[in-house]
Structure 1
Amino acid sequence: MSKNVKDELYKNGLYINQVRDLFLWHFDSDKEAAQYFGVCEKTVKNWHRNRNYPMPVIRLIIVKHRGYLPPTEEWRGFRIRGDMLYTPSGRALSAYDLKELDIRVSLDEHVVKFSRKSY
């Protein structure tokens, strides 16, 4: 296990022995994990057995666990840099901005209205 992987995990409040737990939490099988990471099932089994996960796998499983942006079409173009969420048009939103939104959905008119919460 490289020092960089251990450091990456530690920065995110995790230890190497918790990586297997993340796999169990997010995937029903090693086969499902292999499909997600684009490798064969044997590779995933080797990662677990040797506790030797590649850095990109560590970073991606942390992102998946924290619930960061899903890799779906709807989220394409959105980015997180530091503490800000950037829209595809370049608008920056902080966590405060998102918490303060009052989102109203009108099913009759198919309209979504965003406005600041009033206290």
Structure 2
Amino acid sequence: MKYELAVKKCRNRRKPFKRISPDKLRETRILSGFSKKEAADMFHVTYRTWHNWESGRVQVPYAAFKLLRILTGYELPGEAWRGFWFAGDALWSPEGKKFTAPDLSYLSLTFAMARQWRADREEKRESGSRQKRSNLVPFVLPKKGGKKISSIG
């Protein structure tokens, strides 16, 4: 009886290794303002290892390069964050909108208020009750030729 080994195809093959040039690593480190020693300490590798990466003696691990870009604010992890970046103390969107820490802290409050408003509106719709008219006066622009309100000076 002849035995044959069945070769099992692996569905989860590793993605091709992305080569990073030593010049690209050096440029990213310099732009982030780190010395070789500081970068090596941040990555928990020896100065010699970092020097070998930048000199081209040893191939730069893609994960190290990617992590350097994330830690220095040049890139955020994940496909959903593509185009976002950090500059100084702000997060910038792909459209060029600046978000500071206080902006983002109020953002969660805004979302919570919107969820509550939506839930209240759906509840009223399901109960069949008509919405009460608001007692708030809408803002109306003055007609042309009307009196202008002068500022107290």
For the superposition of Structure 1 and Structure 2, which TM-score range results when normalised by the shorter chain?
0.3 to 0.5
Which structure would you say has the larger Rg?
Answer: 2
| Larger RCO (alpha carbons 8 Å, 6+ apart) | 1
Q: TM-score under structure 2 normalisation?
A: 0.38
Judging by fraction of residues, say which structure has more helix. Answer: 1
